[in-house]
C-alpha cells in the first residue's frame, strides 16, 4: 500500500510518443517521453504517470490530479481542415486524436492542464483554432527553431492580470523549439504572452480554474520550475 506521504503528492498524467527505439539488444516501437518532463513534475512535488497514445480512455483522468500535454511532432493539418504545407512532416494522426480526447475530457472535468509546445497547438486545435504550419513563412526568421535539435531562447511579454503573469511575471525568457504556432486562436482561449515578432507564446482558458498553454519548453530549464509548480499547486488544491 502506498504511504500517506506518497498519496498526498498530486498524480500528473503526461502524454507520450510512440516511436522506434533501441535498448540493449532490442529495437522496437515504444512509448517514449524525454525524462526532463518527469524530473520537472517530481521536482515540483508531483508523481508523473505516463499516458501512451494507445487504448485511449478518458476515464483514466478520474485517477489524475492534473494533465500535461507534451511537445513533439507536427500536428496533422487535417485536424483543422488545412492542406499540408511542404514543411509539415512526420504527423501522427493517432496521437492527435488521443490528445484531443484527453484535452476535451480534462476541460470537461476542469482538471488542471498544462499544455507544452505541441500541447498548446493541440489545445488550440481541439477548441476550434488553427495553426501556422511553418512559422518562418510568417515571421521571416528561424529563431524559434535555430538548428536541428538545438533549442532557441525567446524573450516574451506577458499580459498583466492573467494567470500566466501570476506565474511568470510580465516578461520572461523561455526555451523554444518549434516551426508551427497558433494562427487563429480558439474562441475560448485568451492569448497571454507573445514574442517580439507577434508569435503567441502562451494562452489560457479563463473559464477554467487552471488551463495554461505555452509554446516554449519549460522542461528544458529545470532551474525554473514555476510552471510545473503552478500546475502541482492547482492539482493539490483540486485533490
Active centre residues (catalytic)? 117, 217, 219
Cα(96)–Cα(83) distance, rounded to whole angstroms? 16
Angle at which helices 226-238 and 35-43 cross, to 10°: 60
Q: Phi-psi category of 44—alpha, beta or left, where left has phi over 0 and alpha has psi -120 to 50?
A: alpha
CA distance 122 to 71: 10
Burial readout 216-233 (b: 16 or more C-beta within 10 A, e: otherwise): bbbbbbeebbebbbbbbb
Exposure string of 131-155, with b = 16+ CB inside 10 Å and e = fewer, is bbbebeeebeeebbbeeeeebbebe
113 burial class (0-12, 13-18, 19+ CB within 10 angstroms)?
buried
CA 214 to chain centroid, in Å, comes to 7
- Please list, in sequence order, all residues whose beta carbon lies within 8 angstroms of the beta carbon of residue 40, skipping any fewer than 6 positions away: 218, 219, 222, 225, 228
- 73 near 91, Cβ under 8 Å? yes
User: DSSP readout, 48-62?
Assistant: EEEE-SSS--GGGGG
Amino acid at each position: 500500500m502506498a504511504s500517506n506521504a506518497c498519496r498526498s503528492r498530486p498524480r500528473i498524467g503526461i502524454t507520450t510518443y510512440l516511436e522506434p527505439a533501441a535498448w540493449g539488444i532490442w529495437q522496437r516501437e515504444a512509448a517514449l517521453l524525454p525524462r526532463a518532463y518527469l524530473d520537472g513534475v517530481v521536482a515540483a512535488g508531483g508523481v508523473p504517470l505516463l499516458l501512451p497514445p494507445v487504448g485511449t480512455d478518458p476515464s483514466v483522468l478520474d485517477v489524475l490530479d492534473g494533465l500535461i500535454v507534451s511537445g513533439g511532432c507536427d500536428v496533422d493539418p487535417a485536424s483543422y481542415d488545412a492542406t499540408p504545407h511542404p514543411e509539415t512532416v512526420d504527423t501522427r494522426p493517432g496521437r492527435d486524436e488521443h490528445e484531443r480526447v484527453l484535452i476535451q475530457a480534462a476541460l470537461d472535468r476542469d482538471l488542471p492542464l498544462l499544455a507544452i509546445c505541441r500541447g498548446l497547438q493541440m489545445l488550440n486545435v481541439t477548441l476550434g483554432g488553427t495553426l501556422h504550419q511553418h512559422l518562418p513563412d510568417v515571421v521571416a526568421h528561424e529563431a524559434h527553431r535555430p538548428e536541428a535539435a538545438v533549442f532557441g531562447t525567446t524573450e516574451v511579454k506577458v499580459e498583466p492580470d492573467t494567470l500566466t503573469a501570476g506565474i511568470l511575471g510580465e516578461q520572461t525568457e523561455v526555451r523554444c523549439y518549434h516551426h508551427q504556432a497558433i494562427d487563429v486562436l480558439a474562441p475560448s482561449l485568451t492569448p497571454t504572452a507573445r514574442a517580439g515578432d507577434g508569435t503567441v507564446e502562451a494562452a489560457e482558458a479563463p473559464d477554467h480554474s487552471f488551463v495554461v498553454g505555452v509554446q516554449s519548453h519549460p522542461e528544458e530549464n529545470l532551474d525554473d520550475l514555476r510552471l510545473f509548480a503552478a500546475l502541482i499547486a492547482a492539482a493539490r488544491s483540486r485533490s
